[in-house]
Amino acid sequence: MNEQSPFDIRASACPHDCPSTCALEIERLSDHRIGRVRGAEGNSYTAGVICAKVARYAERTHHPDRLMHPMRRVGPKGSGEWQQISWDDALDEVAEEFLKREAKYGAETIWPYYYAGTMGLVQRDGINRLRHVKKYSGQHTTICTTLARGGWMVGTGSLHGPDPREMAKSDLVVIWGTNAVHTQVNVMTHATRARKDRGGKIVVIDTYRNATAQTADMYLCVNPGTDGALACAVMHVLFKEGMADRAYMEKYTKGWKELEAHLEDKTPEWAAAITGLSPEEIYAFARLYGRTKKSFLRLGYGFARSRNGPVNMHAASCLAAVTGSWQYEGGGAMHNNGGIYHWNKTLIEGLDAIDPEVRILDMSRIGPVLTGDKTDLGDGPPVTGLLIQNTNPMDVAPELGKVHKGFARDDLFVCVHEQFMTETAKMADILLPATTFVEHDDLYQAGGQSHIMMGPRIIEPLGECRSNHEVISGLAKRLGAEHRGFGMTATELIDETLKISGWPDAAALTEKKWHDCMIDFDSAHYLNGFAHSDGKFHFTPDWSKIGPNHEGMPKLPDHWEVIDLADAEHPYRMVTAPARNFLNTTFTPTPTSLKREKRPAVKMHSVDAAAISTEEGAIVRLGNKLGSLLIHVEIFDGLNPGTVIVEGVWPGKFFIEKIGINLLISAEAPKPNGGAAFHDTAVWIRPER
Ligand SMILES: Nc1nc2c(c(=O)[nH]1)N[C@H]1C(S)=C(S)[C@@H](COP(=O)(O)OP(=O)(O)OC[C@H]3O[C@@H](n4cnc5c(=O)[nH]c(N)nc54)[C@H](O)[C@@H]3O)O[C@H]1N2
Ligand SMILES: Nc1nc2c(c(=O)[nH]1)N[C@H]1C(S)=C(S)[C@@H](COP(=O)(O)OP(=O)(O)OC[C@H]3O[C@@H](n4cnc5c(=O)[nH]c(N)nc54)[C@H](O)[C@@H]3O)O[C@H]1N2
Ligand code: SF4
Ligand SMILES: [Mo]
């Protein structure tokens, strides 16, 4: 019981793929029902604030469309004709189909495929234990963080920055390429504290005047994929106008003299022509940034989802090393704090069973993989069996044309474990019902902040739903896969993993609800040196450390023109940014989210709309070499003419022609380590009459 509510309140953590990883308080109405969800006041990062979509989580957990029973496909693939079967029959059939294919093609023909529908360490990553023990094909996990992470790591050498709570002590917070109001609302809590408590300023750099930009003191509206040019011009001004900290650079960085020489002609006038900003806007931002010691760069994922994304991320991260803002509380740069955790994931992921000879397939290239592309498959067997948990590739992966064609293959056997009838679930041969986070035990780690948290089971599993761990263990038994982890409960896995990782054990963590893993100030700010062997920040990046495909990458920060440039045939550059009330395709079944998002739409500048004689609410055809689709127009002048925005990964069924926006996204793997260039697409738009 608690003062706010007459109900039993249980502590948990938000399981969703969001940097905030909020500490939650959940009303438990009965053994089978949750009520309201609130943010924990006592957690210093969450500070009582969560997003609206999770506050109404009961709408999701208790949705009438939740999958409740195992089912076998009876009609043609995707027909939606099912027969309810028992768990034993379902798991037996999956095992039998996998073993049959393994006997014919070898184990690599099976591809366990997952992402971050839940971020719980046990329920998300346990699928890897089955993969490794069975020597199934590996997964190069590129769909989200690869581009941004590589660009960050190449400069600093470690995936961490200052404590994000320090934003409250900053005089200038630069929110760069992340729509925090939509995607990680707690950034705004701490950034606006700086404004309230000390008159700090907020700058937003984005391709459209999104909800976050609308709160900013200064907004820089850039063309997609041009942040490298902006960063170079800002550094040009910092050097020219005496705002570079040469003593800091001499002590802490490598390559600053080459950088200074290289930036000689990277003027604001040069960058203006590339970015769509005016030279004055670039000077104004450079001077504001250069004159503020306590300046905090909050670098998001969005601006790195381009073919030149890693180069742009590195270029942006260089700013803090030029001014030396790293030295001050409330200063420096942060992208993600994943590097502060010292997990031992051997037990959860079966790392002791890895065979380095087994092939690894790029998850962002699931379309080419399933349609037999030799670039991916090499001399190996085709993929003829898929086991899918926590992801919806029929909507979220690039090049949906190939993805859909691949899933429709008659020789492909697909097992999907899901909470809802997603577009991927519809393509299953065997469909298994999954618990939501309040129905299973797990352990969570934040990326955008520094806590680890328990998320214990709060209500009984609904219907016949089972957790990911139960499904993986049930399959392991039938597939003859042996590993200690399959015989343990989720709580036992959590407890042992916490202990071997050097954290408080399960009982202690449950008792204290969360554990703050933030490292000390000097380490967080790299004042004992950066994480490369020479202890320096690298202005001259060694891309070969990030990925094998590094040839031709720039040796210094630059505008790298490998993006899908607009041309006469494709005059617009499209960004597919996140919607506020969805999380990728999660929450697309919930009525409140749907009502608020209305329908898929393309935001166009009024000048662009007039040029093709279209208007608000009209339907246009949007396309490129990969295909085309019909979509409604929304006139929006908060972007540069030539840029168009489609918010939200709407499932295909909401589109007029029943296929989603990723039809137009390329599956080409960016340098140096792959990834998915979701915001880097040149398109044409034609009025539909
Ligand atoms: N409500 C909601 N929350 C979410 C998600 C969601 O879909 N909806 N997704 C979750 C997931 S999986 C992730 S990884 C995070 C991602 O969260 P973010 O880090 O915010 O990344 P993105 O969602 O890709 O895009 C954010 C912004 O980048 C901008 N952008 C795109 N290209 C460029 C560019 O070239 N330059 C600049 N400066 N800006 C650019 C877009 O316009 C958009 O406003 O959010 C998580 N949270
Ligand atoms: N156009 C465009 N495409 C994008 C993006 C973009 O910005 N633009 N963003 C990309 C990014 S950043 C990401 S991370 C990917 C994300 O793509 P996905 O990881 O596929 O995310 P979702 O679409 O939310 O699908 C997650 C699914 O997991 C299920 N799920 C949740 N919890 C559990 C569980 O405990 N067990 C099981 N078995 N299932 C569960 C949910 O019901 C949901 O259907 O999408 C990418 N696609
Ligand atoms: S802001 Fe992110 S972490 Fe917090 S409740 Fe919403 S989705 Fe979950
Ligand atoms: Mo993501």
pLDDT value of position 161: 98
- Encode pLDDT of 299-312 as tens digits: 999 999 999 999 99
Looking at ligand 2, which atom is closest to the CA of residue 662? 1
Looking at ligand 2, which atom is closest to the CA of residue 417? 38
Closest Cα to atom 5, ligand 3: which residue? 50
pLDDT value of position 6: 78
Q: Are 364 and 674 in contact (CB under 8 A)?
A: yes
Ligand 3 pocket residue status of 580, Cβ below 6 Å: no
Looking at ligand 2, which atom is closest to the CA of residue 391? 20
Looking at ligand 2, which atom is closest to the CA of residue 123? 35
Ligand 2 pocket residue status of 311, Cβ below 6 Å: no
- Encode pLDDT of 269-284 as tens digits: 999 999 999 999 999 9
Ligand 3 pocket residue status of 37, Cβ below 6 Å: no
Ligand 2 pocket mutation pick from 130, 146, 390, 564 by most atoms within 8 angstroms of CB: 390
Ligand 2 pocket residue status of 189, Cβ below 6 Å: no
pLDDT value of position 7: 85
291 alpha carbon – ligand 4 mean position (Å): 34
599 alpha carbon – ligand 3 mean position (Å): 23
Class (C level, CATH) for 572-687: mainly beta
Residue 244 has pLDDT above 90, yes or no: yes
pLDDT value of position 4: 58
Looking at ligand 1, which atom is closest to the CA of residue 213? 44
Task: Count other Cβ atoms within 10 Å, centred on residue 464.
Answer: 15
Looking at ligand 2, which atom is closest to the CA of residue 144? 12
Looking at ligand 1, which atom is closest to the CA of residue 51? 1
pLDDT value of position 689: 77
Ligand 3 pocket residue status of 23, Cβ below 6 Å: no
- CA-based nearest residue to 195, from 226, 216, 164: 216
Ligand 3 pocket mutation pick from 50, 188, 583 by most atoms within 8 angstroms of CB: 50
Out of 3.90.550.10, 3.30.200.210, 3.30.420.40, 3.40.50.2000, the CATH code matching 8-61 is 3.30.200.210
Closest Cα to atom 36, ligand 1: which residue? 303
Ligand 3 pocket residue status of 14, Cβ below 6 Å: yes
pLDDT value of position 72: 98
Ligand 3 pocket residue status of 232, Cβ below 6 Å: no
438 DSSP assignment: G
Ligand 2 pocket mutation pick from 66, 125, 387, 391 by most atoms within 8 angstroms of CB: 391
51 alpha carbon – ligand 3 mean position (Å): 6
507 alpha carbon – ligand 4 mean position (Å): 31
What is the DSSP pairing of strand 253-254 with strand 537-538? Answer: parallel
Ligand sitting nearest the alpha carbon of 189? 3
- CA-based nearest residue to 398, from 362, 360, 361, 359: 362
Mean pLDDT of all residues in the chain? 98
Residue 477 has pLDDT above 90, yes or no: yes
What is the DSSP pairing of strand 295-299 with strand 332-334? Answer: parallel
Q: Summarize the confidence of residues 402-426 as an average pLDDT.
A: 98
Q: Summarize the confidence of residues 110-125 as an average pLDDT.
A: 98
Q: Are 289 and 247 in contact (CB under 8 A)?
A: no
Token code pair at residue 575: 């960004």
Looking at ligand 2, which atom is closest to the CA of residue 392? 20
- Encode pLDDT of 32-51 as tens digits: 999 999 999 999 999 999 99
Q: How far apart are CA 441 and CA 265, in angstroms?
A: 57
- Encode pLDDT of 135-158 as tens digits: 999 999 999 999 999 999 999 999
Cα torsion at 7, 12, 13, 16 (round to 10°)? -70
145 alpha carbon – ligand 4 mean position (Å): 7
Closest Cα to atom 12, ligand 2: which residue? 144
pLDDT value of position 1: 45
Most distant CA atoms of the chain, gap in Å: 72
Ligand sitting nearest the alpha carbon of 582? 1
Q: Summarize the confidence of residues 570-579 as an average pLDDT.
A: 98
592 alpha carbon – ligand 3 mean position (Å): 16
Q: How far apart are CA 170 and CA 295, in angstroms?
A: 6
- Encode pLDDT of 357-379 as tens digits: 999 999 999 999 999 999 999 99
CA angle 17, 22, 24 (to 5 degrees): 120
> pTM for the full model?
0.98
Domain ranges of the chain: 8-61, 71-143+345-450+460-512, 147-335, 572-687
Residue 332 has pLDDT above 70, yes or no: yes
Q: How far apart are CA 400 and CA 410, in angstroms?
A: 18
Residues 371-400 as b or e (16 or more Cβ within 10 Å = b): beeeebbeebbbbbbbbbbbbbbbbbbbbb
Q: What are phi and psi of 326, to 5 degrees?
A: -55, -25
Relative orientation angle of helices 227-240 and 279-291, to the nearest 10 degrees:
60
Residue 2 has pLDDT above 90, yes or no: no
Q: Summarize the confidence of residues 103-122 as an average pLDDT.
A: 98
Ligand sitting nearest the alpha carbon of 60? 2
Looking at ligand 2, which atom is closest to the CA of residue 397? 47
Ligand 2 pocket residue status of 418, Cβ below 6 Å: yes
Ligand 3 pocket residue status of 18, Cβ below 6 Å: yes
Class (C level, CATH) for 147-335: alpha beta
Closest Cα to atom 3, ligand 3: which residue? 21
Q: How far apart are CA 626 and CA 399, in angstroms?
A: 7
Ligand 1 pocket mutation pick from 54, 141, 178 by most atoms within 8 angstroms of CB: 178
Class (C level, CATH) for 71-143+345-450+460-512: alpha beta
Ligand sitting nearest the alpha carbon of 664? 2
pLDDT value of position 5: 67
Closest Cα to atom 3, ligand 2: which residue? 396
Residue 112 has pLDDT above 80, yes or no: yes
46 alpha carbon – ligand 3 mean position (Å): 9
Ligand 3 pocket residue status of 449, Cβ below 6 Å: no
Question: Would you say how long the chain is, in residues?
Answer: 689
Closest Cα to atom 8, ligand 3: which residue? 14
Closest Cα to atom 8, ligand 2: which residue? 576
Residue 26 has pLDDT above 50, yes or no: yes
Q: Which residues contact 418 (CB under 8 A, 6 or more apart)?
A: 67, 388, 424, 425, 431, 432, 433, 434
